[in-house]
Amino acid sequence: MAVSKNAWLTGLRYRGGDNMLVWMLHRISGLAMVLFVGAHILSSFFTQQLGSTWGIALNTIYESPYFQIFLYFFVIFHVINGLRIILLDFFPKLLEYQRELTWLEWIIFIPIFGLSVFITVIKILNGG
């Protein structure tokens, strides 16, 4: 019997713990960014080339503060996690401390993301 070759489905059957979670988040945030940038390009295209209201509709979604909070999460996470992996690639010795590095990653992430959310929420409260 051939075992499922789909890594995503297989991943659900394995308890990889926080390491695997971070990797999955990295993948998801990568895809999410493609989606965000895609929406941005599409909305510009609709508005400027076709003069269609579709662009405005997309823009409203894209620029809404709720959407922005997701965007901040994915972009900031992807950047910091990417930097962690680059660091590990350059200095394999650090791989012994990968647990600590993952913690460090979240310690850096939380204030940056927190500040972004804080500013966005203030903006919402001030009426956008």
Instruction: Enumerate residues 26-85 that contact another protein by CB under 8 A.
Output: 85
Distance CA 35, CA 62 (A): 11
Please pick, from the candidates 41, 61, 95, 115, the single residue that binds another protein as defined by CB under 8 A.
95
5, 6, 9, 14: CA torsion to nearest 10: 50
- Give me the phi and psi of 17, to 5 degrees please: 75, -160
Q: Which is nearer to another protein, 57 or 83 (CB)?
A: 83
- Give me the phi and psi of 16, to 5 degrees please: -85, -15
Distance CA 109, CA 60 (A): 27
Q: What's the closest the beta carbon of residue 26 comes to another protein, in angstroms? A: 8
Q: Which is nearer to another protein, 41 or 95 (CB)?
A: 95
Residues that bind another protein (CB under 8 A): 1-3, 5-7, 10-11, 13-17, 19-20, 23, 85, 88-90, 92-93, 95-96, 98
